[in-house]
Each structure stands twice: as C-alpha cells, then as structure tokens.
Amino acid sequence: MIDTTPLVEVARPAGENLQFIPRRFQAGGRLQIADSVGIQNTFISTCVLCGGVIVGEEATLEHPLPQWLHKYAGDMGDRKASAFRVSETIQPTWRQLSLSSHKECNRLFARKLEDPSITAIKAMVEGRRLTWTQLDAAFDWLDKIKSASAHMAIALRSHNLRLGYEDISFPNKRVGAFDRLALIYRLSEGTPPLDLWDCLNDGFLTTPTAITLRVKDLVIVYASNNYLLSAAFGLGSYLMQNNSATYIPGTGTFAPGFGTRFCRIPPAKILAQPMRRQHQKEGLLDNNPALQENGDGRVYELVGSRWTRVRGCDFSALPRLNSRLGYALAALETVEWIILSKEQDYGRYGTPESFFLKSLPVLQNEKRGLIELVSTLRGGLTMPESDRITDLTFNPGGRDAPRA
C-alpha cells in the first residue's frame, strides 16, 4: 500500500534465546504500561505502520482509530474505550489509544489512505450511496484499523504475548493484500456511539482476522485473511498433497454464498472483495472474472445466495436490529470468522500445538455462549451450533499472521 522499506532491528537482545526478535510497540497518550519480561531487552520502538525501527526524531503518534472519527462519532476522544480496558490502572480513552510511528509513514498513510476514506465512511454512516472505488477505499481503511488495533492491544497487554512478525503483519504491506468482506447493518438504540471489539482477545491477536466496528448506529463486521474467499469465488488455494503444499488453481465458479460457512445475519448488507495482489507477485494469479489484471478484486454484494458485482452501493435502507441482539450477532460472526481462519491456517503455520490453535477451545466456548445468548434474546428460538456449509479442508500455504 505504502511504498516504504523499513529498517528492521537485526541484532537479538543479549542473553535471549528466541526464534525471532520481539517487536516493541510504544503506547502514547501518557499511558504508563510496564513491559513484560519478554520485551524488556528490546529498547527500540517499532513503527506500527511499517514495522521498522524508530530512531531519533522520527517518531510521532498514530491512532488506530483516527481522531477525526472520535469527533465525528460525538466527541468521543476523552471517553473511556471500554473495549480496550486491560485492568483497573489501564483504562485508556479513545484519544490515548495511539502508538509510535515514523512521521513519514504517518504522513503517507494520512494522504494515501486516511483522507480518501473519510468521505466513504461518513457516507456509509449517513446512509448515502458509495461508488465501488469508495468501497475499495473503505476496505483499505478497515484493513489498517484491524492491523494497527492488534498492535495496540499487544502494547496494552504489556507485550505478554511474544509474537514474531513479518512485513505482511503491518499495514503498509497488509492493506489490500488478502480477501476481505463486510457485514453492515444498524442498531435501533443504545450506546456507545463508538466501539471496536474484540482486539484484546488471544484468538484475535494470534490470528487477526475479524473485528467489529460501531460508528453511531452503524455496525461493520469486517474480516480479511489469506484465501478467505477462495470457495466463494472459485479462486485458487493451497492444499497439502503428499506432505507438500501444492497450489490448486480455482475453478472460476462462484458459490452460493461464502461456500464455507453461512452468515448469522442474513438481512445485513454483505459485501466482499477477493484480493490477490500478493499472489500475483508470487506468480499465482488465477484467470477469474472476480479479479482485475493487477490482482485487485472487484466488489460484490451477496443478494440472496448470489454474488452480484456492484459499481455503486446504496446504504439508505440498511436493516436495523435491536441493540443487544445486534451486538451478540456481531460478536458471534467475529468469533466464527476467526475460528474458520485458524482452521484454514492450521496447515500453513504448524502443528496442532502451535499458538494459533491454543486459543481455539476458548473461542469455541465463547461461540457456544453467544449462541445461547442469541437464543435467549430471540425468545428461545434456537440456532444451529455449526455455521459450516461443508466439511472444512485445511488449506496450507502462504502467510498471513504473526508467528508464535
């Protein structure tokens, strides 16, 4: 997304025997956070946008949720961000949620990504019409929010999760790299007018696939991951064959729906954009009507069970759900997209003992609890525990998450 080549620390901290060099994200906003033992010997801060080290006078602060959004949602800057409450002593306001970044990275992201997205996000919240290029800009912005918020949560948790990162873990490489989708609807009542969840969850931090953002009465459940929409749009993917990762080209046939799981909020506006820019660089680009020549995907809307290409999208008639039910369904969708991604990533990132699957039992328990809550809020109307359309086949290959 942003054409920068970061300087990355190459020397390991003295006395540490680690598989990788820990990255240290420096929280701003006068937050007093004591670093955990695993990060205390890493003295140089990492830029949240490019992943490079910050030296001398290069530093400024980047807000994962930008300050213009704090004001637009209702002067929320000085309100407590309850979703990021770590302890009695660490209860940041939205304005305090910031991390060190390079001044130049901050400037480039503001000009190339933040500024173009402002009009798109406001139009979505206000129920106006967006062009497909504005939708693309909004998706880029949500990619950046998701990636930067994961690093913000790691900092708030004192780096007690020791994760290794590659270039693709940071917004300047991650934005627009992989398949992405959004489920969008409105809430009938309730507060707060700005919310973002669940970034502190171990399941999200080790597989940063899905988040939910609320702005005023608008809710966006957003997910992106490598090969996430392969089944939906008949695109290629990696499969493990004879203990070797093999790329299997896609059929080009669109599935009815996502092809992997069904949506828990069918009235929502469901938009998707397969993105294979990174794959094109690796010579793995399919000849598929869902993709442009450069690997970027066209934007599609799920109407019933059929994917329809959109050149513009109207947000004036979004469905409106009861606030408690809308929150519960958003949380359930978020958890289930993370679970699906973990299972798909399993073959790419290691054995069942890897950290990516250690959080799976907790996520499954959270899912069952949310299903029970949704049933209660619907007056006892039950829903199936499984969200899967077909049995899952693990798809090894590629890279899309920090190593544990």
Is there a domain that residue 402 lies in? no
Quote the DSSP letter at residue 34.
P
Tens-digit pLDDT string for the chain (404 aa): 555 444 444 334 444 455 566 788 999 878 878 777 767 667 788 999 999 888 877 899 999 999 999 999 999 999 999 999 988 878 899 999 999 999 999 999 999 999 999 999 999 999 999 999 999 999 999 999 999 999 999 999 988 887 878 888 899 889 999 999 999 999 998 779 999 998 999 999 989 999 999 999 999 999 999 999 999 999 998 776 666 777 888 999 999 999 999 999 999 999 999 999 878 777 777 789 999 988 899 999 999 999 999 999 999 999 999 999 999 999 999 999 999 999 888 766 556 566 678 889 999 999 999 999 999 999 999 999 999 986 444 333 333 444 34
Residue 79, pLDDT score: 95
Backbone phi, psi, residue 175, to 5°? -60, 120
In this structure, the answer to whether residues 290 and 279 fall within a common structural domain is: yes
> Which value, in Å, is the radius of gyration of the alpha carbons in the chain?
20
In this structure, the answer to whether residues 138 and 164 fall within a common structural domain is: yes
Residue 348, pLDDT score: 60
Between CA 297 and CA 324 the distance in angstroms is: 34
In this structure, the answer to whether residues 262 and 337 fall within a common structural domain is: yes
Between CA 335 and CA 333 the distance in angstroms is: 6
67-71 LR contacts (CB < 8 Å, sep 24+): 67/95, 68/114, 68/118, 69/121, 69/194, 69/215, 70/94, 70/95, 70/194
In this structure, the answer to whether residues 117 and 197 fall within a common structural domain is: no
Domain boundary among 157, 173, 189: 173
In this structure, the answer to whether residues 200 and 341 fall within a common structural domain is: yes
Domain boundary among 173, 196, 229: 173
Is there a domain that residue 398 lies in? no
Domain boundary among 120, 141, 173: 173
Between CA 161 and CA 355 the distance in angstroms is: 10
Is there a domain that residue 244 lies in? yes
Is there a domain that residue 28 lies in? yes
Residue type at 62 in one-letter notation: E
Is there a domain that residue 314 lies in? yes
Is there a domain that residue 40 lies in? yes
CA torsion, points 72, 73, 75, 76, in degrees to nearest 10?
Answer: -140
In this structure, the answer to whether residues 125 and 158 fall within a common structural domain is: yes
The angle at the Cα of 200, spanning 196 to 201, to the nearest 5 degrees, equals 110
In this structure, the answer to whether residues 377 and 316 fall within a common structural domain is: yes
In this structure, the answer to whether residues 310 and 338 fall within a common structural domain is: yes
Between CA 389 and CA 35 the distance in angstroms is: 43
What domain range includes position 39? 1-173
Is there a domain that residue 395 lies in? no
Q: Locate 101 and state its tokens.
A: 């970044």
Is there a domain that residue 338 lies in? yes
Between CA 349 and CA 345 the distance in angstroms is: 6
In this structure, the answer to whether residues 128 and 4 fall within a common structural domain is: yes
Backbone phi, psi, residue 27, to 5°? -75, 140
Residue 254, pLDDT score: 96
Please tell me the number of Cα atoms within 13 Å of 244 on its side-chain side.
4
In this structure, the answer to whether residues 246 and 162 fall within a common structural domain is: no
In this structure, the answer to whether residues 134 and 234 fall within a common structural domain is: no
Residue 365, pLDDT score: 97
In this structure, the answer to whether residues 254 and 273 fall within a common structural domain is: yes
User: Can you say whether the dihedral through the CA atoms of 345, 144, 191, 82 is positive or negative?
Assistant: positive
Tally of structural domains, the chain? 2
